[in-house]
Copies of this chain bind each other. A is one copy, B any other.
Amino acid sequence: MSIKKRYDLMIPGPVSVEDEVLAEMAQPIVAHYGREWSDLFNETVEMAKQVFQTQSDLFIMVGSGHYGVEAALNSLVEPGEDVILVETGHFGHRAVELANSHLAKTHVIDVGWDDTVKPEQVAEALKAHPAAKVLAIVQNETSTGLANPIREVAQICSEHDVILMVDGVSSVGGMDLKVDEWGVDVCVTASQKCLEAPPGLVLVSVSQKAVDHMRARKTPIAGWAMNLLKWKEAADEGRFFQPYYITMAVSNVLALHKSLELILAEGLASRFARHQEVGAAFRDGVRKLGLEPYGSDEQASGIVGVFRVPEGYVDTDIVSFVKENHGIQIAGGLSRLTGKTVRVGHMGPGARMDKIVPVLDALEHWLSSEGLLRKK
């Protein structure tokens, strides 16, 4: 068996990656240790730090975004300890589940899945739960396409001396997230979204404040894989030989190395602007077709374009039509938004006008075929 049909991938990750990145995946396998390899690995880490806009530690782990979020929560919050989590969608909710699975005492700022958090809600929660020393939030909620105001949240956390953990899985490399300047203590992203590489790696930055916090725990962090201090120990000790305790996914690292080169060559500022422009154009196009973009334009991340499914239809009606008739793969709603929303990833190589216009054309075709077209 092999994958027979290939679609133009416009889902919110994994993204279609550039040919030169794919080519790295097919390089002959090399050892995951030794000076030459660790130099390349460390260079990959340094490039990732530039994209994270941080000079703190950054670990590249084999895994998915989930692993990174779980590792952060497992490392920062002891069983029974208080943690505040902002929930504005599926991935915010997932973080709550992950924290609960490690027996944290979770306090959820339940904003609803059609909105973003207001800074004052964060301030209130911090006052209401003074025992909480960690707050977790998603930047771009991939399930809604709406971005929480990380800069403002970070400011409030800083005032309360609370550790801030940001799930930047779908945002890092696609929208501004100044990890050091804003004061984000732990930031997580994955290889397959705005970093434009194949899935299989998760990247986690950890501030000195977060390291100190972990080291001051009363109980040791459980396990190794989800233990950021273990990753730090291995990185520090094995810097010039093997900066992790596992067999690294070397091919995926080579691909990430290449994609980070492309990202830095483009430049972060122009890259973020490109995503913003394309995101705005997509919402505009959707609106002109008579469809309703999710949330407000101010909340929109520019990375995932989300709109509501017209009454009387479900998401798969649209997703299947676009796939079958236009060869483009887009996505439906997640968990409690299943059926109700359609999501289009315009990330990395997909954040281009010539990539979203065919999607808008396909949507117009669907609307027209259903007699729903009322162009504005």
Q: Cβ of A98: which chain B residues have Cβ within 8 Å of it?
A: 223-224
Provide the residues of chain B in CB contact with A248, threshold 8 Å: 64, 199
A30 and B1: CB pair below 8 A? Answer: no
Query: Taking CB as reference atom, which chain B residue is nearest A39?
Result: B1
A67 within 8 A of B: yes
A254 at the interface (CB under 8 A from B): yes
Query: Who on chain B is nearest to A47 by CB?
Result: B1
CB interface residues, A 1-54, toward B, < 8 Å:
1-7, 9, 11, 13-17, 22-23, 25-32, 36-37, 39-40, 43
Q: Which residues of B contact A26 (CB under 8 A)?
A: 22-23, 25-26
Determine the chain B residues whose CB is within 8 A of the CB of A143 once the complex forms: none
Annotate A63-80 by CB proximity to B: 1 below 8 A, 0 otherwise: 111110010001000000
Complex Cα gap A112–B227 (Å): 29
Closest chain B CB from A20 CB (angstroms): 11
Given A74-B223, A200-B252; A14-B36 close (CB under 8 Å):
no
Q: Is A186 an interface residue (CB 8 A)?
A: no
Cβ of A374 to closest chain B Cβ, rounded Å: 31
The docked-state distance in angstroms from the alpha carbon of A4 to that of B220 is 41
| A62: Cβ under 8 A from any B Cβ | yes
Please indicate which of the listed interface residues A15, A248, A252 has the most CB atoms of chain B within 10 Å of its own CB.
Answer: A252
Whether B250 and A198, one on each chain, are in contact in the complex, defined by CB atoms closer than 8 angstroms, is yes
The size bracket of the interface on A is 35 or more
Cα A247 to Cα B257 in complex, Å, equals: 20
Q: Is A226 an interface residue (CB 8 A)?
A: yes
CB distance from A248 to the nearest CB of B (A): 7
CA A103 to CA B223, docked complex, whole Å: 9
Kindly identify, within residues 247 to 277 of chain A, every residue whose CB is under 8 Å from any CB belonging to chain B.
247-252, 254, 257
CB pair B43 A249 closer than 8 Å: no
Is A101 positioned at the interface, with any CB of B under 8 Å from its CB?
yes
**23 pairs across A/B with beta carbons < 8 Å?**
A1-B39, A1-B40, A1-B43, A5-B36, A6-B28, A9-B29, A14-B250, A22-B27, A25-B251, A31-B329, A62-B63, A63-B63, A63-B246, A66-B224, A66-B246, A70-B225, A97-B224, A101-B220, A101-B227, A190-B247, A199-B249, A225-B226, A251-B251
